[in-house]
Amino acid sequence: MPPSAPHFLERLSKPRLAYHQLEGNEPGVLFLGGFHSNMRGIKANTLSAWCSQRKTAFTRFDYRGHGESDGKFEDGCITDWLEDTLSMIDHRTAGPIILVGSSMGAWLMLLAAIRRPDRIAGLVGIAAAADFTEILYREKLCEEQRNQLMQDGYLKKPSAYDENPYIYTRKLIEDGRRNLVLDKPVQIECPLRLIHSTDDPDVPWRVSQDIMEKVTTPDVQLTLLKDAGHRLSRKEDLDLILLLLDHLLKKI
């Protein structure tokens, strides 16, 4: 059966955002995908089916330049994708919501929670890639690649998750530095649950540990897994994500 066509959030002079939504009980759940991902991945689909069964409101969407939304991927940056996230919170959700952020989505989740404290009731971060642009620039790129990125304005780098290389831009790196969260206390007071694998090849698990130490909320838990990689998409990983989300919903 082919996937259903998305709805679109129309915005004046800004790219349309494709989204799918399930009506249901509050608090609702908003899923934030990762860098270069889309809302039709296994985690988003799993959450959608689970929320549907529980009659919990659920929303998933594509950032500009991702999936079925308008815009070019290489034109986007953290500020843009945060703006997209806030647009969905403000215009396509109601009442208290729990943000579930995967990889880059967990960085955006933290930024959104800082800006919408009255709306965000809880957070679940999956392989949280907070400040990943700085990690990429300083630890994942060699000096030649960094020079090329700064001189040419972009860099193509092979990815383990796509047959085509990812495009990283100077704009992305420079904008990422304006949105860093781990260089200071993270002013978040809602419950936070973090899941990370100790063998994550893309984002060190200590990033999640750093988040746990920097957030101001006392209600934070970090679960470390072994041999789960970055995606955390095995059945046992997905079951754990749902279990933590279930406990959070009941707590709230």
* Active-site residue list: 103, 200, 230
Element (H, E) at 170: helix 170-177
**The two structure tokens encoding residue 83:** 């703006």
Torsion, Cα 140 196 166 59, to 10 degrees, reads -150
Tell which residue, 30, 49, 234, 251, has the closest CA to residue 127. 234
**Which stretches does DSSP call E strand in the chain?**
7-11, 14-22, 25-32, 56-61, 97-102, 120-126, 154-159, 162-169, 192-197, 220-225
- Separation of alpha carbons 61 and 163, rounded Å: 23
* Contact by Cβ (8 Å): 199, 226: yes
> Contact 122/248 with Cβ under 8 angstroms?
yes
Q: Are 7 and 18 in contact (CB under 8 A)?
A: yes
